[in-house]
Structure formats: C-alpha cells, structure tokens
C-alpha cells in the first residue's frame, strides 16, 4: 500500500512541475490568447487630446486607438480593448470625459429571458459538443 501511495504522490509532483506546457499561463500570468472587453473613451473638451491619446496608448499598451471621427473630421472617441485595472486608470484621467463598455469583442446578444452569462456558457458547451 505504501509503495502505491508513494508512486501516486510522486506522479502528482511530476505533473505539477512538468505537466503544463510552456504556453499555458500559470497563476498570476495574463492569458495572451484572450481578448479584453471593448470600451469607447470620449475625450474631455479641450486642446490636449494628443496628450490623452499618449496616456491611453501607454496604459493599454497599443498604438492603435481606433479613433472615431465626426463628419468634420473631429475626434469623437477612441475604441480600445482594456481590462478592469486599465479602465480604472483611464477613468481617472482628466482628459477622458466618459467611458462606455461594448462588452467582449466576440460576444453575442443573449436570448430573451436568458442572462448573458448563461448564453456564454451555453455557447461554450455547444462549441465543445460539436
């Protein structure tokens, strides 16, 4: 009985150390394949939109802010992918007047009477069973 327990314990230790491939993130690491929710960032009135744009680029780590312009080529908003920590920083910026959430880039509207979480879980189950 003891050799069986010992081999089981050693197997668990081996799997814990070498069982995860190198590209699988471990606890505390971000998952590079996952997309972040989309947000529209509306600039505060004033001439400093270029400073605000640089702050946004530095915060979310991208140079592509996907600007939205009106018919007179005036900046209306930037659309970015950001996590909760980045959005908290951006909301505190004086150059940003308002932040709106689009949700996840790949999300589909939930069916009537179904919460969005149930819809996402159902969609994941459908993908798994195909």
pLDDT tens figures, 36-46: 899 999 999 88
**Helix or strand holding residue 11 (H, E):** helix 2-18
Domain assignment present for 5: no
Residue 119 above 90 pLDDT?
A: no
Single pTM value for the model: 0.55
Give me the pLDDT at residue 128, please.
Answer: 47
Say which residues have a Cβ less than 8 Å from residue 56's Cβ, sequence separation at least 6: 41, 65, 78, 80, 90, 93, 96
Domain assignment present for 11: no
Comparing 85 with 13, the larger pLDDT belongs to: 85
Tokens of 3: 């050799």
Give me the pLDDT at residue 93, please.
Answer: 93
Give me the pLDDT at residue 3, please.
Answer: 67
Q: Please tell me whether residue 19 adopts helix, strand or coil conformation.
A: coil
As for how many domains the chain has, the answer is: 1
Give me the pLDDT at residue 26, please.
Answer: 44
Give me the pLDDT at residue 25, please.
Answer: 45
Give me the pLDDT at residue 5, please.
Answer: 63
Q: Domain range spanning residue 44?
A: 38-105
Tell me the pLDDT tens digit for each residue of 19-60: 545 444 444 444 555 678 999 999 998 878 899 999 999 999
Domain assignment present for 89: yes
Domain assignment present for 67: yes
Question: Could you tell me the CA-to-CA distances from 14 to 1, 11, 20, 25, 34 in Å, in that order?
Answer: 20, 5, 10, 18, 28
Give me the pLDDT at residue 23, please.
Answer: 45
Share of the chain above pLDDT 90, in %: 44
Reported for 20-23, long-range contacts at CB under 8 A and 24+ positions apart, including other chains, are: none
Question: Which domain CATH number covers 97?
Answer: 3.30.70
Domain assignment present for 96: yes
Domain assignment present for 126: no
């Amino acid at each position: 009985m003891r050799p069986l327990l010992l081999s089981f314990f050693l197997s668990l230790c081996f799997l814990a150390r070498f069982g995860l491939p190198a590209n699988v993130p471990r606890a505390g690491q971000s998952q590079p394949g996952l997309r972040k929710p989309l947000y529209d960032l509306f600039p505060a009135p004033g001439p400093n939109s270029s400073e605000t744009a640089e702050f946004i680029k530095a915060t979310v780590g991208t140079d592509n802010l996907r600007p939205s312009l009106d018919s007179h080529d005036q900046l209306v908003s930037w659309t970015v992918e950001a996590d909760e920590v980045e959005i908290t920083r951006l909301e505190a910026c004086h150059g940003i007047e308002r932040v709106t959430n689009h949700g996840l880039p790949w999300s589909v509207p939930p069916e009537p009477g179904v919460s969005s979480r149930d819809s996402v879980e159902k969609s994941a189950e459908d993908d798994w069973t195909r």
